[in-house]
């Protein structure tokens, strides 16, 4: 049986019925590929030994022909010196190109490299060949013919062993693709571990949030919390009343009139008090121990009546600033009373120390961690989807390639 037929039989390349297809499990693929690769490489090596020997002989012949060309003396030629110089220069460059080709063929013993090396030589030596052949014929022709023989041997080998070479290339492709599959599956397992870990963290975060919410609810429903809430509400109500009172006092204090009066007042004490009411009426009324502002308003009314202070709607202004000590004292006492109530309530509120703010802050921090972990999980799931698609594509490519070997690739895994 011929070697090609043996390869076809071994690799299942002959066309068979579906029932005769070999089924191969994915986990068995690596060993199967290695066995076939070893077998094919061995056969190729055996087949190439004979041609390698022939090529070695031709290389030696090429070396001898190069030496003959090198020894060729152009002085005996009857052509002009210019032509001789051009030919000599071409001969020298051509010999260098041939020697380089010989060394490449010796160094790169793989028979598949021969066409590349010869083609490279043909391009690099084209100019020197043209110059050298002005006066040199037979010696260069001998070299050219030997190189053609090497090329022909190589072409015949490749043609005769085409099926074997195709099988070799296919097996190498499958070996590399299987390695890519393994690396992709390793990446997938790593991503799956990360997903599992991040899911555990998400469950932990959610559990912590649920526990914090229960504790916050319990604390808010405690007697201390309810008492604190009542005190806070009471304080807010008094603060609202205080603000309304302060607004009412500020409405009574007409800064325009006070500024006109201040310009006319010569008494330093009254001027200072007036300036205080202009700047901050609330602070001024609290610090006005003798309620001197009542006297000031009386003087202002007199000056408005006497036309010393001219102002629009003077009658309304007079009515507006009409104050007696009882009214001003009532305002002052109410201010002091409300301020004291607020201060006392603040002390009572501060005595009730609840952990609710700390717990709510901890809940916010945990919710931020949960969101971060959910975002990370989303990224990992996209990576998982991408790697699953890649593995599916690789498996499909390998299965299609193996069908050329009449092998059906099967797997327990779902792709």
Helix or strand or coil: residue 410?
Answer: strand
Burial pattern 228-260, b for ≥16 Cβ within 10 A else e, equals beebeeebeebeeebeeebeebeebbbeebbeb
pLDDT value for 264? 85
pLDDT value for 303? 80
pLDDT value for 380? 96
pLDDT value for 213? 92
pLDDT value for 28? 86
What is the distance of C-alpha 199 from the center of its chain? 21
Report whether 181 contacts 394 (CB < 8 A): yes
pLDDT value for 109? 64
Sign of CA dihedral 155, 160, 166, 168: negative
Low-confidence ranges of the chain (pLDDT < 70): 1-21, 108-109, 414-415
pLDDT value for 373? 96
Q: What is the mean pLDDT of the chain?
A: 86
pLDDT value for 187? 94
- pTM of the entire structure? 0.55
Helix (H) or strand (E) holding 24: strand 22-25
Residue 407: strand pairing partners: 22
């Amino acid at each position: 049986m011929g070697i090609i037929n043996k390869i076809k039989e071994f690799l299942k390349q002959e066309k068979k019925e579906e029932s005769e297809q070999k089924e191969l499990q994915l986990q068995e693929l690596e060993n199967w590929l290695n066995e076939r690769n070893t077998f094919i490489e061995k056969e190729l090596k055996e087949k190439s030994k004979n041609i390698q020997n022939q090529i070695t002989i031709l290389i030696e012949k090429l070396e001898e022909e190069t030496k003959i060309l090198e020894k060729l003396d152009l002085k005996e030629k009857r052509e002009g010196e210019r032509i001789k110089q051009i030919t000599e220069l071409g001969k020298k460059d051509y010999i260098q190109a041939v020697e380089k080709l010989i060394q490449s063929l010796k160094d790169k013993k793989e028979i598949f490299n021969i066409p590349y090396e010869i083609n490279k030589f043909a391009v690099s030596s084209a100019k020197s060949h043209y110059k050298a052949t002005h006066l040199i014929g037979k010696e260069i022709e001998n070299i050219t013919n030997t190189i053609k023989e090497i090329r022909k041997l190589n072409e015949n080998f490749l043609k005769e062993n085409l099926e074997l070479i195709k099988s070799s290339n296919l097996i190498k492709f499958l070996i590399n693709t299987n390695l890519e599959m393994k690396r992709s599956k390793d990446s997938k397992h790593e991503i799956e571990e990360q997903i599992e870990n991040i899911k555990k963290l998400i469950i932990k975060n959610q559990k912590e949030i649920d526990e914090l919410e229960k504790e916050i609810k319990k604390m808010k429903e405690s007697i201390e919390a309810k008492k604190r809430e009542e005190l806070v509400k009471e304080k807010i109500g008094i603060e609202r009343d205080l603000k309304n009172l302060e607004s009412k006092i500020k409405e009574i204090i007409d800064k325009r009139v006070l500024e006109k009066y201040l310009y006319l007042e010569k008494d330093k004490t009254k001027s200072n008090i007036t300036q205080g009411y202009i700047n901050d009426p609330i602070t001024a009324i609290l610090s006005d121990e003798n309620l001197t502002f009542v006297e000031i308003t009386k003087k202002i009314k007199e000056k408005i009546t006497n036309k010393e202070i001219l102002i629009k709607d003077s009658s309304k202004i007079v009515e507006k600033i009409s104050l007696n000590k009882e009214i001003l004292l009532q305002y002052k006492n109410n201010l002091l009373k409300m301020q004291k109530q607020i201060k006392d309530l603040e002390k009572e509120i501060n005595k009730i120390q609840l952990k609710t703010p700390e717990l709510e802050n901890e809940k916010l921090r945990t919710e931020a961690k949960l969101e971060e972990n959910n975002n990370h999980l989303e990224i990992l799931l996209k990576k998982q989807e991408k790697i699953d698609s890649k593995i599916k594509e690789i498996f499909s490519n390998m299965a299609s390639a193996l069908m050329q070997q009449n092998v059906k690739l099967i797997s327990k895994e779902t792709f």
